[in-house]
Structure 1
Amino acid sequence: MAASVDASSSSNDRMKEVKEFDESKMGVKGLSDSGITSIPQIFVHDPQTLSDLKPSSKPTAAVIPTIDLSHITSPAHRPNIVDQVKAAAKTFGFFQVTNHGVPVSVLDKTVNAVKAFHEQPHEVKAEYYKRDEGKGVMYASNNDLYRTTAASWHDSLQMWMGPEPPNVEEIPEVCREELAAWDLHATKVADDVMELLSEGLGLERGRFKELTFSDSRVLVGHCYPYCPQPDLTVGIKAHTDPGIVTVLLQNHVPGLQVRHENEWLDVKPVPGGLIINVGDFLQIISNGEYKSVQHRVLANSRKESRISIVIFFNLAKWREDGYCGPLPELLSPHNPPIYRDFTPQEFLENFYGKGIDTKSLIQKITIRN
C-alpha cells in the first residue's frame, strides 16, 4: 500500500513540475540561457534509455545512402534513381538527397530564420506559446509533454501548412517569409521523391499525389539548445514518424541518429543535402516493402544550438469507406496483406493518446497468422 501511495505522490509531484515548466513558457532554451548547471528532474530519462546514449564510435559504421537527384527527368538515368530510392527505403528507411533543386541560399535562410525565432527574448516567444496541436501555429516545448514519462531537451515552432494553411499573420514575423517559401520548396522535393517511391513499388508515377499523400503537412522548427547534462536526457527520444514521408533540413550541429541493424548510426549532413525518411503510414500502405525506422536526437553538448526544420507529409483524403491500409494494387495471393485497414480515428488516437514512440500503430494493425 505504501508503495502505491509513494508512486501516486511521485506522479503528482512530477505533474506539478511539468505544469510549472509549461506555464513558465520559457522552454528549454530559456532554461539553458539562464545558466543552469543541472537539468530539472522531469527531463531525466530512465537508465535503459540512457545506457546507450553516445555517438557511434565504429569507424566502419554504415552510413545512410546519399542519392543524387540531378537527372530525375532523364529517361536514361531515372530507373537507376528509382532503384536507389527503393533500396534505401527498404533497408535504411532514411536517405539524403542532393541536387534536389532547392538553392543552398534558401536552405541557409530557412535555418537562420528558425534560429532567429528561437533566439528571440522569452517574452516575445511566449506570445506564441500554447498547446493546440492539430491546427494553426504553436510554439511549445515537447508537444507530448503531458503524455510522456520524461521530457526531452528541445523546443519547437509548429505550423500546419496543409490542407488549411494558417493566416500569414499567425506565423511569427521573424521567420514568416522564409517558412512560407520553405513549405513550397520542401513540398516540391517531397512530391519528386514520392514519385520515385511510387515507381519503386511498380505503380504509376503520380499515384501518391492522386492519393493526396502530400496535402496534409505540418512544418516543425526544432531547437536543441546547449544541455548541461547531456548524459541524463535526450534531444528527442527514439521513435518512428507516423506519416508518409518526412523531409528534414538541419544545421551542422550533430545529434541525429538512425537505428540500423541493431546499431545507432550518426547522420552526418551532406552540404546542401536534405534528409528523407519513411513514416509508419508508408510502411503500411506499401505492405511492408518500405520500412519506417527508429531515430532519435542526442541532447546537445555544444554551446551552439542544433536547429532542424522538419515537414511531415500525410494523406488528406482517406478512402470513401473511411479506412486506409495496404494499397489493393500491391496485394495478390503471393503478397497477401500483412496489415489490416484502420480509420483516421485510430490513427489520431494512437498518436495523440501517448508520448511519441516506435511503430505502435503498426503493431496494433499487424495481421497475426
Structure 2
Amino acid sequence: MIEISTLTWIVTIALILALLALDLALGWLRPHRVGFREATAWSVFYVGVAVAFGVWFLLAYGADAGTQFFAGYIVEKSLSVDNLFVFVIIMSTFAVVEEHQQKVLTFGIVLALVMRVVFIAIGAALLSLASFVFLLFGLLLLYTAVQLFRHRDEDPDVENNIVVNTARRVLPISDAYDGGKLFTRVDGRRMVTPLMIVLVAIGGIDLLFALDSIPAVFGVTDSAFIVFAANAFALLGLRALYFLVKGLLDRLVYLSTGLSLILAFIGVKLILHWLHVDVSPAVPEIPTPLSLGVIVGVLAVVTVASLIKTRKDPTLVAHAGSLTGSPRRAEKPQPQE
C-alpha cells in the first residue's frame, strides 16, 4: 500500500479545485464558441499538467506509484472519450446551441467528479473490509465489457431513458431555451428550460460511467489517492477535448470494441488478484507495467484501425456503445451528391 502524506492530499485537492474553478469560469461564466486553436491549447495544457503531476508523483513516491498513476490516468482518459460520444449525442438530440455547450460540459465535469469522489470513497471502504470485493469488481467489469461489445454498434437512447422521462413528468418545461437560463417564465408561470433536461441527461450518464470507471481504475491500483488523482486529471481536460475531437469521434469506429477489451482485461486482472490473495499465492498476478502496456497498445491499435477503416469507407460512423441494448441505432449518413 502506498502511503500518501496529508500534505500531498491537501496540495493535490487544492490544485484540482483551482483548475476546476478556472474551467468553470471559462465554460459557465463566459459562454462562447470554442475554436480549434483554443481547444488545442487547453487540451495540451491539461494533459501537460497531468503529465507533470505524474512525473512529480513518480519522483516523490517511486516508479511503481508513478506507473500506477499513469495507467489509471490513461484508463480514465480512454473511458472519458466514450463519455464524449454520449455528450455529442445529448447535444445533438436536444439541439443545444454551440455557445451554451461549454456550460453543459462544465456542469457534466463537475457532477462527474463529485460522483467519482463518492464512489471512490465507497470502493476504498469496501476493499479495506474484504478482498472479496476485488472479485465483485472484476465480475462487474467483465459483464460491462460483454455488454459493451454486444452493443458496440448502438448509441444509448438519452432522450427516452428513465431519468429524463421522470424529469419531464415532474418538471414544467418550456419550449424555448431562453438563452443560457435554466429557469424562465411563460405567461407568468415559472418553468425550467430544455437546458435543465440536458443537465439531467448528463447527470444520468455520469452516474453510469462512474459505476464502470471506478472499478476499472481500482484494477490498476489499490490506492484511493491515485484513483482520485487519475479521475480528476482525466476529467479536467474533458471540456477542451470535446471541442477538439468531436469531429474526429465519428471516425473512431472501433473505440467501443477497444474499451470492451480493456475493461475485460482489467476485470481478469482483478479476479486474478482476488485468487492470489484469498485462494492461493501461486496464482499469478498481472503487473502494473504490463497493464499499462496492454492499455496503451489496445488504444493505439483501435485508433489506427479506425482511421484506416473510415478512410476506406467514409460512410461509416462510430457509436458510443450501449450497456443495455437500445432501440436507437444511428443511421449511416448518405453520401452527398
* TM over 0.5, shorter chain: no
Greater RCO (Cα-Cα under 8 Å, separation 6 or more)? 2
TM-score scaled to structure 1, two decimals? 0.26
TM-score scaled to structure 2, two decimals? 0.28
